[in-house]
Amino acid sequence: MILIKLGGSAFSNKAKPLSFHEEPVRNLALLIKQHGITPVLIHGGGSFAHPVAKAYGLDKGIRDDAQLIGVSLTSLTLSLLNERITSIFSKLGLPTYTIRTGAVFMRTLSGLKLSGDVVDLVRRLVGMRIIPVFYGDVIHDYELGFSILSGDEIMVELAKRLKPRYALFLMDVEGVYSEGPRRGELIRVFKPSTSISYSSSGVDATGGLMGKLKHAIELAEMSVQTYLCSVMDQESISLILTGGEPRGCTRIEAT
């Protein structure tokens, strides 16, 4: 089993609402087709969901009923985005099946609750060679009414139950750099002890690189082979998918 997270930055420009770059998604779909694999795909909300969710303050929970329309609008834009991504897969002959994250995940007072049936559904879909698709979503929260569940969190939660061999985080950059996005040196192996000096410019709406690294380390701690790669680095992704060690990318190690 392989989990692939297609980050929002990989296919959209945070500064431009509803911007969408087809090429990186198509590149990923072509690699999946070429290697004949059936991964579980998780995509971010990119510039579709973040501006709406932020405008309605959904990252801070529901304090006012007027925010509930923001839940509907965020859901709508995420649905539009999911259609764009899955239709690129369909055009290449790769069947997908979207499992709306908020239909199966709830945030309770004791942590995330995932419907047990979903694990069975995902295994069955992969067995039929149909790609299960999840996405970062606005989900019901027992305490806050609604809150955001990021694609990176979904990776960790699914990995706990599916025990994948690989987890790939695909981004718009080659991996983790020592001094910020594309600044300093590309770090080939990142461990919890690795020090990097990042300015706030590297931070996005769902926790930024530090959040991503925290989740990636959790995956590595579960003995999942975890990599952060550029979505356009076909050679490295192909090497990982065939059991090799890539020349690009950052590999995450637990210790």
- Asked if residue 141 lies in contact with residue 112, where contact means CB atoms within 8 angstroms, the answer is no
Counting beta carbons within 10 angstroms of the beta carbon of residue 160, is it exposed (0 to 12), middle (13 to 18) or buried (19 or more)?
Answer: middle
State which of positions 77-106 bind a second copy (CB under 8 A).
79-80, 82-83, 86-87, 89-90, 93, 95-100, 102-104, 106
Q: Between 130 and 186, name the residue whose CB sits nearer to a second copy.
A: 130
Place of tokens 């087709």: 33
3-state secondary structure of 109: coil
Q: Fill in the per-residue mask, 178 to 217: x = in contact with a second copy (CB under 8 A), - = not in contact.
A: ----------------------------------------
User: Please, what is the minimum distance in Å from the beta carbon of residue 146 to a second copy?
Assistant: 8
Q: Rule CB under 8 A: say whether 161 interacts with a second copy.
A: no
Under the binding rule (CB under 8 A), the answer on residue 48 touching a second copy is: no
The window from 13-21, 113-121, 231-239, 240-248 that contacts a second copy (CB under 8 A) reads 113-121
172 vs 142: CA distance, rounded Å: 34
Q: List, in sequence order, every residue forming a beta bridge with 133; answer none if it has no partner.
A: 41, 98
Helix (H, G, I), strand (E, B) or coil at 185: coil
CB of 47 to a second copy, least distance (A): 18
How far apart (Å, rounded) are the C-alpha atoms in residues 198 and 59? Answer: 23
**Pairwise CA distance, residues 13 & 1, whole Å:** 30
**Least distance between a second copy and beta carbon 51 (Å):** 16
Tokens of 155: 């990776």
The size of the chain, in residues, is 255
Q: Alpha-carbon distance 70 to 185, whole Å?
A: 40
The yes or no reply on residue 143 touching a second copy (CB under 8 A) is: no
Interface with a second copy: number of residues (CB under 8 A): 43
> Per CB under 8 A, does 125 bind a second copy?
yes
- For a second copy, give the closer residue by CB, 122 or 213: 122
Q: Under the rule (CB under 8 A), what is the footprint of a second copy?
A: 62, 65, 68-69, 71-73, 75-76, 79-80, 82-83, 86-87, 89-90, 93, 95-100, 102-104, 106, 113, 115-118, 120-121, 124-125, 128-130, 140, 142, 145
